[in-house]
């Protein structure tokens, strides 16, 4: 500790001088010496102002920590930042100093900032990169409670009292313990005075005392003969040995070498028996644990199957009670079909003549009412889905661009197109509001009119402007709000079409919008039932057909009117098949090429809607798995089983060694029918080997027979 001034000094700590540990470490070259320079004998006004020091209190923003340091006022702000950067262990480029809210330049010195010698100033310091280089003060030592900078009063030679700033330098490491003792009660350590001083050097004795000859002793052997009296224990002349404690030792049975080795062999066999018993117990314990794990796994899988079935029944019941999708409506139509067939069968078996005809007419009327109710549900679902579609489209057009950075964070960026989409979305929501006042409605209409007018002068814009003028005119005439609902709905519809046009909303070009009609001439097909030219996406594409058939609308109408088949169960089979194959082979293709109708054909026509092993006909409990486990799944390498039978089948290494010959032939026959039905797919994925010239006629007859059988089965399933 160094003090500026005369011989007498009174040390008084500054109240706001406590500071954390960073100031206790080594300072830069400019402040490594004592912080306060000693004045010369010259007067105060002639003192070198540039070499004087001042107390600088730096506040770390935003933590609010204060660092107090004595710094020469002749140095620049850059030197101060370097000193603080070394203390805080951050790059000097990210530090930013400010005084009274003004950012300081690096070339300015403390004198130019108006800081006087031996004064105190307060600055704020922040980091330009708080995420990567935050300002964290170093924690102070636990044993240190002394401030880093103190203010002392010094009496000069003239008898004046002068306050100077003293910076305290702490040792970098604690003095090593070289000897002493520790108080048992208080734990205070006392050092020996001799250990704290430099040890005295021993005088040189002129000889090497650390050689091997000096450290190693020499061994000598010397024989000695004991005296007779010392070596004997017998009574003799002049020596009496008492026999009071003597005992008689009887020799035991003599053990031969054979008996000794036999006893050792018996002991070894006994040890081995105990060791083998312990190993057997461990093996049995492992078997028991494996059995328990197996039983627990079986129980868990059984509970999982039961839970899946309960969830499936609950989901089916919810779809019946609250239909939300087109598949739910098909489920209702299928339930209606079963109810009608049961009622018709009961009427035919119990009634005859006129009563039967009257009951059938009543049944037809009830069926008509149920169909009308399902149709009302369908209209309600379409309206809800349309509203969801509009909301999703507006949210997508207003969402910022997102991508994932290298560190895992999501980056969002707004460009003029997304800002434009957000403005149009907010305006559409305001236009679509109904519970607003008259003045608010006029304000929304004027905003919409200005937005449409300033963009383009097309037919769509003119129609929107005409409808806006018409609504404003009707509102000025006092027309009721309920009479304007149709007009307002037309405005919303046209404005939504305006938003979906890429010319007015550029972000809509990247979303799903109608294409240019001039580009659709090559993708139009004629529906043979409704005689309409529709796009290719309006026709179902199956793997077993080579040309388009009826459109989707006609297929759905035919399903509602005649067959009333629910395809949700086949969709569940297809989704489970895709998930299982994706886990085994991520490059599988065929399960993702098949459609729900293809799975329906496989289940109903090829496999007869029942398990190949147990003949279980619960369609909700059937799944497709591989026939040969080592080959990829395909319609000609699959088997339809129940969920309980899949684990046992997949555990087989070779199916030809487990199943019977007749069963294998039946499975191969179904595979050949599936390959024939999906012949368009097999040409590119798994082409069948070419037939030999001598077998072409036979192959043609077999294929024809299979084709007729498959066609008949398809017609029967359709009926």
- For the cut 50, the answer to whether the pLDDT of residue 175 exceeds it is yes
pLDDT band at 521 (very low <50, low <70, confident <90, very high): low
Average pLDDT over every residue of 159-167: 79
- For the cut 50, the answer to whether the pLDDT of residue 300 exceeds it is yes
- For the cut 50, the answer to whether the pLDDT of residue 413 exceeds it is yes
What is the chain's mean pLDDT, rounded? 77
Average pLDDT over every residue of 513-536: 69
- For the cut 80, the answer to whether the pLDDT of residue 375 exceeds it is yes
- For the cut 50, the answer to whether the pLDDT of residue 687 exceeds it is no
Number of H helices, E strands in the chain: 18, 16
- For the cut 70, the answer to whether the pLDDT of residue 403 exceeds it is yes
pLDDT band at 140 (very low <50, low <70, confident <90, very high): low
Average pLDDT over every residue of 594-610: 90
Match 């400019």 to its residue by tokens: 30
- For the cut 60, the answer to whether the pLDDT of residue 102 exceeds it is yes
Highest mean pLDDT among 102-106, 154-158, 476-480: 476-480
Highest mean pLDDT among 12-21, 63-72, 218-227, 435-444: 435-444
- pLDDT score, position 199: 62
- For the cut 60, the answer to whether the pLDDT of residue 392 exceeds it is yes
**DSSP β-bridge partners for residue 70:** 55
Lowest-confidence segment of 135-139, 151-155, 444-448, 687-691 by average pLDDT: 687-691
- pLDDT score, position 398: 85
In contact, 584 and 554? CB cutoff 8 Å: no
pLDDT band at 547 (very low <50, low <70, confident <90, very high): low
**DSSP β-bridge partners for residue 205:** none
Lowest-confidence segment of 194-203, 530-539, 546-555 by average pLDDT: 194-203
- pLDDT score, position 562: 72
Contacts 24+ apart (CB under 8 A), 426-435: 427/451, 427/495, 428/394, 428/492, 428/495, 428/496, 428/499, 429/394, 431/488, 431/491, 431/492, 431/495, 432/492, 434/481, 434/485, 434/488
- pLDDT score, position 705: 33
- pLDDT score, position 71: 78
Highest mean pLDDT among 278-287, 363-372, 415-424: 278-287
- pLDDT score, position 178: 64
Q: How far is CA 404 from CA 129, 132, 412, 505, in A?
A: 21, 19, 9, 26
- For the four alpha carbons of 449, 452, 457 and 459, in that order, the dihedral sign comes to negative
206: left (phi over 0), alpha (psi -120 to 50) or beta: left
- pLDDT score, position 704: 31
Among 566, 609, 564, 604, which Cα is nearest to 340's? 564
Taking only the tens place, the pLDDT of each residue in 5-53 is 333 333 333 333 333 333 333 333 333 333 333 333 343 443 455 567 7
pLDDT top residue among 23 and 211: 211
- pLDDT score, position 120: 81
In contact, 664 and 627? CB cutoff 8 Å: no
- pLDDT score, position 237: 80
- For the cut 80, the answer to whether the pLDDT of residue 191 exceeds it is no
- For the cut 90, the answer to whether the pLDDT of residue 110 exceeds it is no
Average pLDDT over every residue of 684-705: 39
pLDDT top residue among 74 and 232: 74
Taking only the tens place, the pLDDT of each residue in 618-632 is 888 899 999 998 888
Average pLDDT over every residue of 635-644: 91
In contact, 147 and 17? CB cutoff 8 Å: yes
- pLDDT score, position 283: 97
- For the cut 90, the answer to whether the pLDDT of residue 279 exceeds it is yes
Average pLDDT over every residue of 106-124: 81
pLDDT band at 75 (very low <50, low <70, confident <90, very high): confident
- For the cut 80, the answer to whether the pLDDT of residue 388 exceeds it is yes
pLDDT top residue among 520 and 236: 236
pLDDT top residue among 91 and 525: 91
In contact, 589 and 678? CB cutoff 8 Å: no
DSSP string spanning 583-648?
Answer: HH-TT--HHHH--HHHHHHIIIIISTTS-TTT----GGGEEEEESSTTS--BTTBEEEEEHHHHHH
Percent of the chain with pLDDT over 70: 77
**DSSP β-bridge partners for residue 637:** 634
Residue 579, both tokens:
């998930």
Percent of the chain with pLDDT over 90: 14
The CA distance from 131 to 114, in Å, is 33
Taking only the tens place, the pLDDT of each residue in 346-359 is 998 988 888 888 99
Among 345, 344, 384, which Cα is nearest to 362's? 344
Taking only the tens place, the pLDDT of each residue in 321-351 is 888 887 788 888 888 888 888 988 899 898 8
């Amino acid at each position: 500790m160094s003090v500026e001034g005369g011989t007498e000094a009174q040390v008084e700590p500054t109240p706001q001088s406590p500071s954390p540990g960073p100031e206790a470490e080594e300072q830069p070259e400019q402040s490594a010496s004592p912080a306060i320079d000693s004045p010369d004998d010259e007067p105060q006004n002639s003192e070198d102002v540039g070499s004087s020091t001042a107390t600088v209190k730096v506040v770390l923003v935003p933590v609010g920590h204060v660092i107090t340091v004595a710094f020469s006022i002749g140095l620049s702000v850059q030197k101060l930042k370097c000193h603080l950067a070394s203390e805080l262990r951050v790059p000097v480029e990210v530090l930013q100093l400010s005084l009274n809210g003004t950012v300081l330049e690096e070339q300015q010195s403390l004198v130019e900032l108006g800081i006087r010698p031996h004064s105190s100033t307060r600055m704020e310091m922040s980091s330009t990169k708080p995420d990567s280089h935050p300002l964290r003060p170093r924690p102070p030592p636990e044993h240190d409670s002394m401030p880093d900078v103190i203010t002392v009063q010094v009496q000069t030679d003239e008898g004046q009292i002068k306050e100077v700033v003293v910076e305290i330098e702490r040792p970098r490491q604690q003095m090593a313990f070289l000897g002493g003792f520790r108080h048992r009660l208080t734990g205070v350590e006392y050092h020996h005075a001799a250990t704290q001083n430099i040890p005295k050097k021993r005088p040189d004795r002129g000889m090497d005392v650390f050689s091997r000859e000096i450290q190693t002793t020499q061994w000598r052997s010397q024989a000695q003969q004991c005296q007779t009296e010392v070596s004997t224990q017998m009574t003799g002349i002049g020596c009496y040995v008492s026999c009071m404690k003597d005992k008689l030792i009887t020799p035991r049975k003599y053990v031969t070498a054979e008996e000794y080795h036999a006893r050792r062999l018996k002991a070894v066999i006994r040890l081995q028996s105990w060791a083998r018993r312990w190993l057997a117990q461990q093996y049995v314990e492992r078997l028991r644990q494996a059995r328990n794990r197996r039983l627990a796994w079986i129980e868990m899988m059984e509970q999982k199957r039961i839970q899946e079935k309960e969830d499936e029944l609950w989901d089916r019941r919810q779809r019946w009670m609250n239909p939300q999708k087109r598949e739910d409506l098909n489920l209702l139509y299928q339930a209606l079909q079963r109810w009608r067939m049961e009622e018709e069968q009961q009427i035919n078996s119990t009634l005859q003549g006129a009563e039967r005809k009257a009951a059938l007419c009543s049944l037809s009327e009830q069926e008509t009412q149920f169909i009308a109710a399902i149709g009302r549900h369908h209209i309600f679902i379409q309206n809800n889905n349309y509203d969801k579609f509009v909301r999703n489209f507006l949210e997508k057009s207003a969402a910022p661009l997102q991508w994932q950075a290298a560190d895992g964070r999501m980056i969002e960026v707004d460009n003029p197109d997304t800002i434009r989409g957000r403005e149009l979305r907010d305006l559409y929501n305001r236009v679509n509001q109904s519970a607003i006042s008259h003045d608010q409605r006029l304000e929304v209409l004027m905003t919409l009119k200005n937005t449409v007018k300033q963009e383009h002068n097309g037919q769509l814009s003119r129609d929107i402007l005409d409808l806006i003028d018409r609504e404003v005119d009707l509102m000025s005439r006092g027309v009721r709000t309920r009479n304007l609902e149709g007009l307002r709905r037309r405005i919303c519809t046209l404005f939504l079409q305006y938003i979906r046009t890429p010319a007015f909303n550029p972000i809509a070009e990247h979303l799903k919008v109608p294409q240019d009609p001039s580009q659709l001439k090559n993708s139009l097909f004629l529906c043979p039932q409704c005689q309409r030219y529709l796009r290719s996406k309006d026709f179902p594409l199956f793997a077993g057909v080579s040309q388009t058939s009826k459109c989707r609308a006609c297929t759905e109408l035919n399903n509602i009117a005649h067959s009333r088949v629910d395809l949700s169960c086949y969709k569940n089979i297809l989704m489970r098949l895709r998930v299982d194959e994706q886990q085994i082979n991520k490059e599988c293709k065929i399960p993702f090429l098949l459609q729900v109708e293809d799975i329906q054909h496989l289940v109903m026509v090829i496999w007869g809607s029942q398990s190949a092993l147990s003949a279980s006909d619960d369609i909700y409990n059937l799944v497709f798995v591989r026939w040969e486990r080592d080959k990829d799944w395909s319609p000609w390498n699959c088997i339809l089983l129940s969920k309980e039978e899949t684990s046992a089948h997949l555990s087989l290494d070779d199916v030809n060694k487990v199943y019977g010959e007749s069963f294998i032939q039946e499975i191969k026959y179904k595979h050949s029918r599936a390959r024939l039905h999906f012949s368009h797919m097999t040409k590119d994925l798994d082409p069948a080997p070419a037939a030999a010239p001598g077998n072409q006629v036979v192959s043609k007859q077999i294929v024809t027979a299979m084709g007729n059988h498959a066609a008949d089965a398809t017609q029967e399933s359709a009926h």
